[in-house]
Structure 1
Amino acid sequence: MKLWDLGRYEIPDEILESWITRMGEELLPIQERAIKRHRILEGKSLIISSPTSSGKTFAGEVAAVKVAMEKKKAAYLVPLKSLAEEKYLDFKEKYERFGIKVVVSSRDHREYDPEIEEGNFQIAIIVYEKMAQLLVKNPLLLKNISLIVVDELQEIGDPARGGGLELTLTKIVTSPYQPQLLGLSAVLGNAESLARWLDAELLLHEKRPVELHQGVLYKGIFHYKTYNTFERGEESLVDFDSDNISDVVLANALHLLKQGEQILIFLPSKREAMALAYTLAENASLPKAENTLKELSILEDTSLKEALTHCLESSVAFHHADLSREERQVIERYAREGDNRPHRHPAFLLSRRDKKPGCD
């Protein structure tokens, strides 16, 4: 199915052209199935369970834009304020020129809460917990919302926050207003029962469009299995004799950096993320991220600005919730776009308590 075919759903040509420029002319298989077989652009509820990069996020975006162009309202729920910020800025840049009012609600953004309660928006990007608060404050909130997109729906299984998301979804599915529900999830073991509970159809898709190598590093050899084909293979990395996993990660990160690779490292705490960022910056011998440092220099001084500046002197960055909103925006843009010079992407360190230490 070609993107131009979405014109039949009264999506303007200008928006279709912008999508084609970004995505190419053809929809991915999962997007085509969601639209043609499961009719998400005709008001049908659907749970899409598929791996990262399979195309489900764009399916949610298309559904939200279609609803907005009909002068209806869509709520786009995300688990983290950093994701809310990124999605808000992305949608605002792409769609406000077409008359679509985009708002956001998170711990960092409360200025739009009154407008969300009054229904003065077309697309609202809302963090899970804020949606729960808004529903408590205004039980009639769902009256004017036609579509609810739930990104990262697999978070419902998270021990810490899954219960809150489940309660919010219960309020949505038992609401007399019955908005369309579109859930976007990584591969789930209980996808069928979840879809039944949410009274939605289920679209399962287990293949990734870009192959992933999953494995274990042991004595300098990365033993991996491919995600799609289950083929096994080996890759030589660095054999570093240490019982400290951080030493092993550091040695292999430096090895990959010297090969010009961009690296994303997950660590279990903010302290460890910053410590490894410092060590990597001192050992990497990379040029400074000049343009990113200029952006950072004009921001208000914070407790972490000096540390972040030190790391960026060697094209290394860390990212966690203690950074200011503006600092996170600079680093996220740096990670996506680089420093406007060839090969100047960061070794990007991200603190996530739900991840094990490792490299991507």
Structure 2
Amino acid sequence: MQLQEVTRFGIPERLVTVWREQQGDRLLPVQRQVIRKGLLGHNAHEQGRSFVICAPTSSGKSFCAELAAAAALARRQKVIMLFPLKALAEEKYRRLKTVFGGLGLSCLIATADHPENDALLLRGRFDLAVAIYEKLDLLLAARLDLLTNVGLVVVDELQMIAEPGRGVVLERLLTRLRASHFSPQVLGLSAVVGDESGRQLADWLGGELIEEATRPVELLRGVAANGSLRYRSFNSGCDGTEPFTMAGEEDGDLADLLLRRLKQDDGPTLVFLKSRHDTVRCAVRLAAQVNHPPATTCLEQLRDEEPSFLVRSLRQVLSRGVAFHNADLSMRQRDIIEQGFINKEISTIISTTTLAMGINLPADTVYL
């Protein structure tokens, strides 16, 4: 099945053209499977079926949600997409506003950082809303009929339902959905929910579990030690070993070895370190040793920022195509860095766990 074929479900041709320009005409296996089983309904007027999709990162789950949203919007229904973190919600909102805003649709985001949108969501003054779990739970408690004409609810990171504390919020929210008479289509997405848990969740939500175990882009996970990289292939499970050496390896500490390796890497790279101080220190040291082109757009966007020590350090490393990313930076500053990496202005990001959950960045190599 080709992407062009989804127009038979009422999805506008110009939206399909945008998607094809971004990713080509080929649908990935999990996308083909869930469409065949009724994600988009069986024609332009029929509501799609509910599903829980359990598949690895980069297997196409998020695009399944976009397809389902497009089909629901084409039926003149509203769509709500839920995320566990503000950073994830902000990233997805930017993407969806770009994709669907051009069709004249009203898109809004509901998080603690955007209280001005609460009233719009309560009154149903939207076509597509992006929210975090807690925000929608509070709003549903105040006014359940905000679900009027909502045809699709997408729940990203569905495995969070098993987490202490926040899992209770998500379970309560989904219970409100199930108990209401509005009966929207529900699409749950997860990379880690287990077989039995996924099946139970799908049954509870009135849907079907779709599982995909293969990554379209192979992932090699390994440990580097003593001059070699011992790794395991995600798809095949096969083990392998390859040389992983650097000049002067015997003379350096771990930080020096990492910096030498980063200088050798050509593709986009992410490095996760344990502390905020370490991210700044490592980024400054790396920037002093490379000569990548400056991240011009990022630097321009930071031009009017107050010249604190952190901003001065960030400008310094961005001038060499390097960045750090941690919770000391503002949301705007982090967004600038993420977009700079996506746009290939930034070659390496040194980060704490602020980037670790769900933010989709196109890295060739990740160091943990």
Q: Please, what TM-score do these two structures have when normalized by structure 2?
A: 0.86
Q: Give 1:148 deviation, angstroms.
A: 0.5
Aligned residues: 351
Residue identity opposite 1:120 in structure 2: R
CA shift in 2, pair 1:177/1:85, >3 Å: same
Q: Contact 1:187–1:206 (CA<8 Å) still a contact in 2? A: no
Q: Select between 12-21 and 310-319 the one with higher mean Cα deviation.
A: 310-319
Q: Give 1:354 deviation, angstroms.
A: 10
CA shift in 2, pair 1:241/1:158, >3 Å: farther
Matches for 1:1-360 after TM superposition, within 5 Å:
1-41=1-41, 42-159=47-164, 161-189=166-194, 190-238=197-245, 248=254, 251-299=257-305, 304-339=310-345, 345-352=346-353, 359=367
Residue identity opposite 2:241 in structure 1: E
* Corresponding residue for residue 44 of structure 2: none
Q: Please, what TM-score do these two structures have when normalized by structure 1?
A: 0.88
Distance 1:16 1:208 in 2: 24
Q: Select between 142-151 and 275-284 the one with higher mean Cα deviation.
A: 275-284
Query: Deviation per CA, 1:312-335, whole angstroms, max 9, x where unpaired?
Result: 133221223442232122111101
Question: Cα RMSD (Å) of the superposition?
Answer: 2.6
Q: Where does structure 2 lack aligned partners over 5 or more consecutive residues? A: 42-46, 358-365
CA shift in 2, pair 1:265/1:171, >3 Å: farther
* Corresponding residue for residue 363 of structure 2: none
* Corresponding residue for residue 361 of structure 2: none
Q: Give 1:59 deviation, angstroms.
A: 0.6
Q: Equivalent residue of 2:263, what SS?
A: helix
Q: Contact 2:82–2:154 (CA<8 Å) still a contact in 1? A: yes
Q: Give 1:229 deviation, angstroms.
A: 0.9
Residue identity opposite 1:94 in structure 2: V
Q: Equivalent residue of 1:111, what SS?
A: helix
Q: Contact 2:38–2:48 (CA<8 Å) still a contact in 1? A: no
Q: Contact 1:238–1:251 (CA<8 Å) still a contact in 2? A: no
Distance 1:220 1:272 in 2: 25
Residue identity opposite 2:108 in structure 1: V
Percent identity reads: 35
Q: Contact 2:54–2:198 (CA<8 Å) still a contact in 1? A: yes
Q: Equivalent residue of 1:338, what SS?
A: coil
Q: Give 1:302 deviation, angstroms.
A: 6.0
Q: Give 1:185 deviation, angstroms.
A: 0.7
Q: Contact 1:48–1:184 (CA<8 Å) still a contact in 2? A: yes
Q: Contact 1:47–1:184 (CA<8 Å) still a contact in 2? A: yes
CA shift in 2, pair 1:302/1:198, >3 Å: farther
Q: Equivalent residue of 1:297, what SS?
A: coil
Query: Deviation per CA, 1:162-221, whole angstroms, max 9, x where unpaired?
Result: 333233222222333222110111032221222222222000000000000012222232
